[in-house]
Structure formats: structure tokens, C-alpha cells
Amino acid sequence: MQVFHRIGLTGYKRGRTESERPHDSEAGFTLVELLVVLAIIALIATLVAPQVLRYLGSARTSAAKAQIKNIESALELYYVDNAKYPSNDEGLKALVTAPPGETHWNGPYLKTTSGLTDPWGKPYIYELKADASGVVIRSLGRDGNPDGAGEDQDVAN
């Protein structure tokens, strides 16, 4: 007995008869085949994971550099409006909310305070230079300690 199946719009193909079909015990994968596939996936993961983590670390450092540049731009706008940078006591929060007694404040210069934390979740360090000629904005990196290398390196303007 011949069985024909329609395949798409192009025509027909000859199907299998009842005696030609595989038995249920022949269908599926064996345990060994599944273990081989899992071993291959695990091998690929062990080779790829360190590279992905390395890219993630450098991406956070790059994000910190970009955020510092954004904060610098906001500080320049603050300086234009107020003829001075925020004091060390006022800090970077002066970019979001007006410091008390500031009459020329025309902000917010940053929309939210979330831009004031580095990619590792720590607040940026803000210091007004001693001669008030500029500011230093710094992140201490992943470890939160001065200096370091790789993802632990300091990022500053």
C-alpha cells in the first residue's frame, strides 16, 4: 500500500508504508548521544565565558569614562550659570537639586541622581581643585580602592 504526502505547493513525495516506518523503540536519542551533546556545550561554555567576562569588565570601565564626561559637561553648564563650581560640601548633587542660597541655578543639569554612581554602584568622588580652577571626578573601579589594574583601575577626568 503506497501512501503519498503533499509537500508544500510543489508536488508529492512517496511516504512510507506501515511496515517501513520505524518502531517507537528506534525513535529519539540515546543517553550517550545526549551526554556527548552536553559535553560539547560545556566545552564551548568554558572557552567562551572568560572572554565574555573580560569584555564585560572593559565595558564597565568604558561606561565610567563616558559618565564622567557627561558629568563634566553638566558641571560646565553649572559653572556658566553660577560663575563657580559646586563646593566639596555641595558635591555632584548640586547638578540635580539647587543648593541652598544659589540664586542663578538653572538646572537640573542632570535628570536623576542615578548618573552620579559608577557602573559598580559606588558614588563618583568629586573634588574641587584647591585654586577653584576645575574639578576632579573619580571612580575607584570595581574594588573601591585607589590604583589597581584592569577592572579595578581608577577612572578619572
d(CA 7, CA 5): 6
108 preceded by a cis bond (ω within 30 of 0): yes
Evaluate if pTM is beyond 0.85: no
pLDDT of residue 102: 82
User: What percent of the chain stands above pLDDT 70?
Assistant: 82
For residue 136, pLDDT beyond 80: yes
**pLDDT for residue 89 is more than 70:** yes
Half-sphere exposure of 49 (CA within 13 A, CB side): 6
Structure confidence by residue, pLDDT tens digits, 103-132? 888 878 888 888 888 888 899 999 988 887
Distance CA 122, CA 81 (A): 28
Higher pLDDT, 153 or 124: 124
Q: Which three cell numbers stand for residue 83?
A: 560663575
Q: Which residues of 106-121 are buried (b: 16+ CB within 10 A; e: fewer)?
A: ebebbeeeeebebbbe
Q: Which amino acid is at 108?
A: P
Backbone angles phi, psi at 96, to 5 degrees: -105, -45
CB 44 within 8 A of CB 52: no
> Given a cut of 80, is residue 55 above it in pLDDT?
no
Question: Is residue 5 over pLDDT 70?
Answer: no
Domains in the chain, ordered, with CATH? Answer: 4-156 (3.30.700.10)
Which pairing describes strands 135-139 and 4-7: parallel, antiparallel, or unpaired? unpaired
Averaged confidence pLDDT in the chain: 81
Q: Say how many C-beta atoms besides its own lie within 10 A of residue 83's C-beta.
A: 8
